């Protein structure tokens, strides 16, 4: 991109190809901008991210532009699940009021055709932590503190929870999930049959027959949840180490139990061995951080909900693996995280715990 001036011709939500120095200068308060360079970043399957490098009078600045996926399957999936609506709304309405570090947002708009644009703070460089390798205990604690910074300030905020882009989306999606999830579970088994073992297959099929028990549950301590809190959505030692941890990808933000995020994070991001050895210690650490925001969850309640939500990665990732653009890395990532969750769910006897909740 160079000096082309689209100016007044721009739509409310410009595409990545329409971004020029004039418009970006206005949004970012830059003087004397002369040129914009664009490069693709990240490995997202539902949206695309680009780094915009802008030359201007004071030097060089960069921001991240997040836009809809170019893949029609992924874009249809995003529209069906209101993913773009949720993320744009998060930056418009919630990001400034939580303690969790997120990229500063300079522009957030979405139109009626589900086109959207986010201009976000560029927090590079950050540490490269491979989802497959597993995080350290220090990073696990930093992630849990960050979750407390989301869950604590949004605990029991009924007016916030009832917003159309939060609980409203959940209510719209409930009939769809009820009808479609069992089909997606069958498609997962069919697609990955040769790559999964008997234990994973049994858990997936057993959960498929009990999806209503999983979804028809009201937690005692509702808050806003991230919904996909895992290594690939965390920037560790961002801004060359000046930001310890920042959280991105808020497309699955919702309302539910805080232990949904905690279980999803620990079971998918730690190695199975580290998770088994340290999950009680880490859960206690999280509860202490949550206490700092005036929210106290009894340990026995937290452990029961943690047990139930070791199933969350299986529900979410089994479905996601067959409805987004298929890639080799995506397949490896989905299967690795599902396998880790199966190990944890088996250790916690999560399906039986869920069944006990249903009759209690």
For the entire predicted model, the pTM comes to: 0.93
Report yes or no: 273 and 346 within 8 Å, Cβ to Cβ.
no
pLDDT in tens, 109-153: 999 999 999 999 999 999 878 778 889 999 999 999 999 999 999
Give residue 3's pLDDT: 38
pLDDT in tens, 58-106: 999 999 999 999 888 889 989 999 999 999 999 999 999 999 999 999 9
The mean per-residue pLDDT over the stretch 264-289 comes to 97
DSSP for 96-149 reads GGSSS----EEEEEE-TTS-EEEEEE---S-B---TTT---HHHHHHHHHHHHH
Task: State the distance between the two ends of the chain, measured CA to CA, in whole angstroms.
Answer: 62
Give residue 360's pLDDT: 64
pLDDT in tens, 26-36: 999 999 999 99
Domains along the chain with CATH numbers = 7-121 (3.30.200.20), 137-359 (3.90.1200.10)
CA distance 229 to 351: 22
The mean per-residue pLDDT over the stretch 171-196 comes to 94
* Beta bridge partner(s), residue 40: 50
């Amino acid at each position: 991109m160079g000096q082309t001036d689209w100016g007044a011709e721009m739509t409310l939500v410009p595409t990545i190809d329409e971004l020029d120095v004039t418009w970006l200068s206005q949004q970012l308060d830059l003087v004397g901008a002369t040129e914009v360079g664009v490069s693709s970043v990240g490995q997202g399957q539902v949206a695309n991210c680009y780094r915009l490098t802008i030359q201007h009078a004071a030097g060089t600045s960069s921001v991240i532009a997040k836009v809809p996926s170019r893949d029609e399957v992924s874009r249809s999936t995003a529209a069906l699940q209101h993913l773009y609506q949720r993320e744009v709304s998060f930056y418009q309405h919630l990001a400034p009021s939580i303690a969790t570090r997120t990229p500063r947002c300079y522009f957030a708009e979405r139109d009626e055709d589900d086109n959207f644009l986010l201009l976000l703070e560029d927090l590079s460089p950050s540490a490269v932590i491979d989802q497959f390798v597993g995080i350290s205990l220090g990073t696990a604690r930093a992630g849990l503190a960050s979750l407390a910074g989301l869950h604590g300030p949004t605990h029991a905020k009924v007016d916030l929870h009832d917003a159309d882009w939060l609980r409203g989306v959940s209510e719209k999606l409930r009939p769809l999930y009820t009808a479609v999830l069992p089909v997606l579970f069958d498609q997962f088994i069919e697609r990955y049959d040769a790559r999964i073992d008997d234990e994973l297959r049994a858990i997936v099929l057993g959960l498929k027959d009990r999806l209503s028990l999983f979804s028809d549950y009201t937690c005692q301590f509702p808050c806003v949840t991230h919904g996909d809190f895992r290594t690939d959505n965390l920037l560790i030692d961002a801004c060359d180490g000046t930001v310890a941890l920042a959280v991105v990808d808020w497309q699955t933000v919702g309302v539910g139990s805080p232990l949904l995020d905690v279980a999803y994070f620990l079971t998918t991001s730690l190695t199975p061995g580290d998770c088994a050895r340290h999950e009680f210690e880490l859960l206690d650490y999280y509860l202490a951080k949550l206490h700092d925001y005036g929210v106290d969850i009894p340990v026995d309640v937290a452990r029961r909900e943690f047990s139930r939500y070791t199933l969350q990665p299986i529900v979410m990732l089994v479905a996601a693996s067959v409805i987004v653009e298929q890639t080799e890395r995506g397949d490896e990532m989905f299967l690795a995280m599902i396998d880790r969750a199966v190990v944890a769910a088996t250790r916690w006897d999560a399906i039986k715990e869920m069944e006990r909740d249903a009759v209690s």
